[in-house]
Chain A
Amino acid sequence: MDTTTEALRRRYARRHVAARAGVYAAAIIAALVCALPFLWSVISAFKQNQDLYNPESNPFFFNKPATPDHVTFLFTDTPFLTFVVNTLIVGAAVVAITLALALPAAYSLARLDRPWGTPMGIAIFMVYLVPPSLLFLSLTRVVVALHLEDTLWSMIVVYPTITVPVSVWLLIGFLKAVPKDVEEQAMVDGHSRLGAFLRTVLPLVFPGIVAVVVFSFTLTSSEFVYALAFVSASPEMVVSTGVPTQLVRGDVFFWQSLQASTVITAVPIAFLFNLFLDRFVAGFTMGAVKT
């Protein structure tokens, strides 16, 4: 009997090792498939022209010594830094507007128990699904009528239409996770309903608010259609439109610089997003849970 349990144990151990190896193999393949174009961008960004523009040279290695010239060129001879600054300005302004609109709305829908709370929440979320491609033509006319064309303001005014609905949805989830006793205690202690929200609930959902900030910023920085339709003057462009339209002169692509700009933009955003991934996952589920 001892031998059979021993054999069984060994079989399970073997199976366990095989399963672990499978998990690692799958994880490595997934990471490679997702990151390959970026990995390869990093290599190309530092290549010399003679190395890059030679169909016979191995595209995965440096066949000539690496050079930082094209990355320097990106910062000194192209408006890339202007695009980055513009993206940060638009992102910060949009995040501020989004929080100012979405926080009270989410509290109203999550906590104040109106009969229209749930349908209204769903209706606001559905607005997220209305795509820029349906609205950009008429919004361009609106932007022109407001004399905002070719300014950062055009994007600051319009982008919250994308970020507010998602943020309301996420914040409803985070607010529902705060126990109701917290506010009731605060109100017993003499705060008004509004005071209880501002002084006790807001600090508790702070982690959720940070997640919403990151999420809104990501959405803002990747938006393309509105930015392309509203702004055609280079100094007012953001990264997502400036790089593909301005770093290309006619048919001449500054390939190394383009690759560098992609990596420089991609890495910090993905890094930030990864920090908060668990919170997004939690937020999306909680938003759908009834209390």
Chain B
Amino acid sequence: MTHAPTDRRPAAVQPPRARAKAGLADREGFLAWVMLLPSVVYIVALVGVPFLLAIAFAFSDVTTGDPSFDFAGFRNFDEILTDGVFWRALRNTLVFTLVSMVLIVLFGKVLANILVADFHGKWFVRFLVLLPWTTPVALSTISWLWFLDSIYSPVDWVLRHLGLIDANVVWLGRPGTAMASVVAVQTWRLTPLAAVIVMAGLVAIPRDIDEAARIDGAGFWRRMFEVTIPLTLPVIAVAGLFGAIMTFTDMTVPYVLTRGGPTHSTDVLASWAYFRGIEGGDVGQGAAIALFLFPLLLAGAIAILRAVRRLEAG
């Protein structure tokens, strides 16, 4: 693109050197690459290369004690596939992800509807509602650790005083309730994120569509199920998939709340990879375990892509 100096800005204002530089600074194809390149180089170096490295580690005998690289073939995979804990972690991951995702979408949609409504004190309510998501996960999980304490849990205190239980439940000490607790905390912390994403979709619905339905006599529930939900379905799908991916790959909640226990009943793939790879020092096996996250992750990413495409088309 070329342009001549106009009458309003005399050429004398610009020193000659600036003109020479402007030549390069005006070539869009060149600029587009130069501006994009640093980000691409950075991402390739610190995401692309480590990803390939992770695959390489999975086929190696690298440990933190002996970091020299020796090819080990499928030995790591043989070992983890014959280990009962791996299968348990895989099953836990799927349960953890699916149950959390369904709950996150459900509560996220309800919460989004509340947050777009008009009422007094909305700012304060929004502040309180955002807390679970914006607080560092490890810290909010610590609060929950105390909330579900085996002796002093206020949940148990309330249940005891209502006469519903005689002795404390020990939420984190039994396999069933430990899993339920992990799912509950994960749902609690990701619901606000889902709500914010769904809000973006609700705000984008043209007002006249809703008003037309209202004038035609459609009530709240009818408008909800026949207008709002169909129109925001792609954005609800995006919220659900985000929740699923962030749950599927997360280890923080199980790590802080239960450390994978009792006896691996809340271990997920990510936490098991961490225990093996960092705390156990067996980098090769840890990498092999983490690699199992990838196929499902890819499927989730493609699903998000499709939902976003539908958003663009609509």
A→B interface (CB under 8 Å): 19-20, 23-24, 26-28, 30-31, 33-35, 37-38, 40-41, 44, 52-53, 55, 58-60, 100-102, 104-105, 107-109, 112-114, 117, 120, 122, 124, 126-127, 129-142, 144, 157-158, 160-161, 164-165, 168, 187-190, 192-195, 218, 221-222, 224-225, 228-229, 239-241, 243-244, 253, 255, 258-259, 261-262, 265-267, 269-271, 273-274, 277, 280-282, 284-285, 288-290
Contacts and interface: CB of A to CB of B under 8 A. Distances in A.
Interface stretch (B80-88, B133-141, B174-182, B210-218): B133-141
25 contacts: A19-B220, A30-B114, A34-B128, A34-B129, A34-B132, A108-B33, A117-B32, A130-B297, A131-B246, A131-B250, A134-B54, A135-B51, A139-B50, A140-B278, A189-B8, A218-B134, A222-B136, A240-B138, A240-B139, A244-B139, A262-B143, A269-B134, A274-B127, A282-B203, A285-B201
Contacts of A126: 301, 305
Interface in B32-66: 32-36, 38-40, 42-43, 46-47, 49-51, 53-54, 57, 62
B5 interface: yes
B50 A138 contact: yes
Contacts, number: 303
Contacts of A34: 128-132, 188, 191-192
- What does DSSP make chain B's interface, helix, strand, loop or mixed? helix
Given A34-B129, A138-B54, A270-B127, A129 B147 contact: no
B199 interface: yes
Contact of B200 (A120, A144, A258, A284): A284
Contacts of A59: 152, 154, 157
A262 B127 contact: no
Interface stretch (B98-106, B222-230, B282-290): B282-290
A41 B290 CA distance: 35
B35 A105 contact: yes
Chain B, interface size: which category?
35 or more
Contacts of A277: 126, 130, 196
A33 B187 CA distance: 12
Contact of A134 (B22, B31, B51): B51
A137 to B, nearest CB: 5
A220 B257 CA distance: 21
Contacts of A194: 25-26, 31
Given A37-B143, A55-B157, A137-B57, A224 B136 contact: yes
A44 B144 CA distance: 13
Nearest to A267: B131
Most B CB within 10 A of own CB, among A138, A258, A270, A277: A138
